[in-house]
Amino acid sequence: MSAEAQAIGFFLARRMAATIALLAVMSLLIFSLLFLEPGDIARNLLGTRAVSPQTLAQVRAEYHLNEPFLRQYWTWLTQAIDGNFGISVQSGESVASEISARLGLTLEVVLFALGLSVLVGVPAGVLAGLRHGTGTDRAVVGVAVVFVSAPAFALGLLLLYLFADYLSWFPIYGTGTGVLGRVDHLVLPAATLALGLGGFILKITRAAVIREVDQDYVMFARARGLSRVQVLGLVLRNACLPVITSLGLAVAYLLGSMLLVEQVFSLPGLGSLLDDAVLFKDVPVVQALTLLMAAAIAVTALLVDLAYIALDPRIRHEMASR
């Protein structure tokens, strides 16, 4: 095995260990916050009707609510390690089935929004970077700043009013049936997420292109007689590294914004499920969802780092020489 392969293997082992430790700490922290939150899960389950102390005690025993905090956490953790995230306090169904029923819709919106933001943000960022200091650059950056600064729920309400209510180009709510119906219903939620994220990717791309254009290798390539297209290819190849790195933050932004966007567009995805679970103090659902999102962000960050290593030989050489 080569030195580079060994270095990458050690890197993966360290990152996996750090990810597991991070998820363990997050699970304990979230469980603690929900435990300290005011309210009684047993009362939530039984509603507003009058109940006897015996009934309350029976419900608390069924859901281990009468046990000490660490005992409750240990019970949940041992079940989660075996792949059993428990039963939803609110619905009485398994947490895994609740999440799997809504995961597809959330993934569709997130991937749709990510694709739109990359398709718009990267070319616009390249254009602004190549025309640095011109009116085109200032106009593009100004639009990006507006979209980055605007809250996702405000953009969603604006798009909903303009394109769904006033112009009637898209449906106001629902998820649609079939491929075309699905796309038609998810355009506005995906666009809401893509506008803010696209502005962020645009600014990262612009800064990377400006930095690369001023490098000595660009002047040397032009002196050798390379065409503008060939020089642009060299610039884009090196400028793509910080853009790829920013995609890790993009996934975190999308997952965080989905909670508000799904509420605006009445989408039954993971964001709506998390909102209902927090309000009901449904600990198993909240724990599973937050850990799922944290794991998705951690895996994305790991994939971004591996892509960075694959694209930049200097990183591989530095890792092997340690």
How remote is the C-alpha of 184 from its chain's centroid?
Answer: 22
Residue 3 placed within a domain: no
- Residue among 249, 283, 280, 267 nearest 103 (CA): 267
pLDDT of residue 41: 65
Residue 21 CB neighbours (<10 A): 10
Is position 128 within any domain? yes
**Residue 111 is part of a domain; what is its CATH number?**
1.10.3720.10
Confidence at 37, pLDDT banded by 50, 70, 90: low
pLDDT in tens, 85-123: 777 777 777 888 888 888 888 888 888 898 898 898 888
**Three-state secondary-structure class, residue 87:** strand
Over 70: is that where the pLDDT of 206 sits? yes
What percent of the chain has a predicted confidence (pLDDT) above 90? 0
The label of the residue with tokens 């739109």 reads 116
Domain-located, residue 54: no
User: For 150, which DSSP code?
Assistant: S
Contact criterion met (CB below 8 Å) for 310 and 61: no
Residue 4 inside a domain? The answer is: no
Q: Identify the band that residue 1 occupies on the pLDDT scale cut at 50, 70 and 90.
A: low
The residue behind tokens 């995230």 is 85
Query: Rounded to a whole number, what is the distance in angstroms from the first to the last CA of the chain?
Result: 16
| Mean pLDDT calculated for residue range 247-269 | 81
pLDDT band at 167 (very low <50, low <70, confident <90, very high): confident
pLDDT for 205 equals: 87
Instruction: Name the DSSP class of 214.
Output: T
Which candidate, 129, 133, 249, 235, places its Cα nearest to that of 200? 249
pLDDT at site 315: 67
Cβ contact 293:258 at 8 Å: no
Q: Is residue 307 part of a domain?
A: no
CA distance 215 to 228: 15
Structural domain span for residue 116: 102-282
Mind listing the pLDDT tens digit for each residue in 176-197? 777 788 888 888 888 998 888 8
The helix/strand/coil state of 310 is helix
Given a cut of 80, whether residue 272 has pLDDT beyond it is yes
Q: How far is CA 110 from CA 189, 209, 320, in A?
A: 9, 27, 36
| Least confident interval from 2-6, 7-11, 158-162, 288-292 | 2-6
What percentage of residues in the chain have a pLDDT greater than 70?
Answer: 85
pTM to 2 decimal places: 0.77
Is residue 17 included in any domain, yes or no? no
Q: What tokens does 157 get?
A: 């309400």
Give 66's Cβ-side CA count (13 Å radius). Answer: 10
Alpha carbon dihedral 273, 275, 278, 284, in 10-degree steps, equals 20
Residue 9 maps to a domain: no
Mean pLDDT of 25-43: 73
Quote the number of domains for the chain.
Answer: 1
C-alpha separations of 19 from 15, 25, 180, 256 in Å: 6, 10, 39, 19
142 in any annotated domain: yes
Beta bridge partners of 87: 94
**Sign of the torsion angle spanned by Cα atoms 150, 207, 295, 68:** negative
**Mean pLDDT of the region 72-83:** 78
CA atoms of 70 and 77, how far apart (whole Å): 10
